[in-house]
């Protein structure tokens, strides 16, 4: 796998995360992991905890962002209310979403987007345990923070595209239209008729390119009169579904399933269930 901190998109935090991973390797007391029990923080924590488990580092999880005085800690912030930063003696790492250059256009203009706390957590986890089984299995979840970030609801997210391209080049994922997803989860999209989708999927292989484009356009027709999803998110939901080896449901569908944990449980329990399931199984 490519080292994420070497990628241009991570240039603002590469030195911080590299230094933090070295400090973690020198710790002689348990590491405290702090976050609020949100979906985004759960994806961040799953990556970090997987690397700590793979590397035999003792830690404990706490759903709070109140900072203790003496214990070494990592704090996850979903938004950009703080900056990613590192202190030592004692060890203190804050990981927060940043706006960075995502892609450079053919005319040389930079396109900015959110480098989420999830993506940074994956970069740190890779440094902590470069060859760890769990963190390698979670690699496709690198882009989950960008998927749930509001940037994609407003405009094109160049960070999502850039990170997805990295996963594609690594052979970690494939991108397929929704009829090629074995078990799509469209429960969040009332404008998709599941019966129609099933009918399309059953004859998908027999359609030519023009026929495929036509049936997918008809499938999403009802979404065009709604303010959401945005055009960029609609394209990802229907035409660019992310699948990894062994997955029957694409990334967006699994994230939809993960949201149900918060509907069925209090937030602490929901977050714990998502983190533990990702660490254990690598899927939702």
77-104 residue pLDDT tens = 988 888 999 998 889 999 999 998 866 5
Q: Can you say whether the dihedral through the CA atoms of 18, 23, 29, 31 is positive or negative?
A: negative
Write down the mean pLDDT value for the chain. Answer: 91
CA 107 distance to own-chain centroid: 29
pLDDT tens, position by position, 164-202? 999 999 999 999 999 999 999 998 898 888 999 999 999
Q: Which residue has the higher pLDDT, 109 or 175?
A: 175
Judged against a pLDDT cut of 70, whether residue 74 lies above it is answered with yes
Going by their DSSP bridges, the two strands 31-34 and 59-62 should be labelled as: parallel
The answer to which of 129-143, 225-239, 252-266 has the lowest mean pLDDT is 225-239
Report whether pLDDT(161) > 80. Answer: yes
13 pLDDT band, cuts 50/70/90, is very high
pTM: 0.91
30-49 average pLDDT score? 96
Rounded to the nearest 10°, the torsion over CA 112, 117, 123, 125 is -170
- pLDDT given at position 6: 94
CA distances from 279 to 2, 43, 53, 270 (A): 21, 10, 9, 14
For the beta carbon of residue 149, count every other beta carbon within 10 angstroms. Answer: 23
β-sheet bridge partners, residue 59? 31
pLDDT at 260 over 70: yes
201-210 pLDDT per residue, tens: 999 999 999 9
């Amino acid at each position: 796998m490519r080292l994420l901190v070497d990628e241009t998109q991570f240039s603002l935090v590469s030195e911080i995360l590299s230094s933090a991973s070295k400090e973690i390797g020198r710790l002689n007391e348990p590491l405290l992991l702090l976050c609020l029990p949100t979906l985004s923080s759960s994806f961040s924590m799953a990556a970090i905890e997987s690397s700590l488990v793979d590397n035999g580092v003792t830690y404990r999880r706490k759903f709070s962002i109140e900072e203790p005085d003496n214990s070494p800690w990592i704090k996850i912030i979903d938004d950009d209310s703080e900056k990613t930063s590192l202190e030592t003696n004692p060890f203190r790492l804050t990981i927060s979403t940043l706006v960075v250059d995502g892609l450079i256009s053919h005319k040389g203009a930079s396109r900015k987007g959110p480098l989420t706390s999830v993506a940074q957590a994956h970069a740190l986890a890779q440094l902590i345990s470069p060859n760890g089984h769990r963190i390698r299995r979670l690699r496709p979840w690198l882009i989950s923070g960008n998927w749930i970030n509001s940037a994609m609801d407003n405009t094109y997210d160049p960070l999502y595209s850039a990170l997805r391209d990295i996963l594609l080049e690594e052979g970690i994922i494939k991108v397929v239209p929704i009829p090629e997803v074995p078990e799509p989860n469209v429960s969040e999209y009332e404008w998709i008729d599941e019966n129609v989708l099933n009918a399309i999927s059953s004859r998908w292989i027999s359609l030519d390119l023009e026929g495929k484009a036509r049936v997918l356009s008809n499938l999403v027709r009802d979404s065009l009169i709604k303010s959401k999803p945005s055009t960029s998110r609609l394209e990802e939901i229907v035409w660019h579904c992310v699948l990894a080896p062994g997955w029957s449901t694409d990334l967006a569908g699994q994230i939809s399933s993960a949201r149900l944990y918060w509907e069925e449980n209090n937030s602490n329990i929901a977050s714990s269930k998502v983190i533990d399931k990702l660490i254990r199984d690598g899927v939702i």
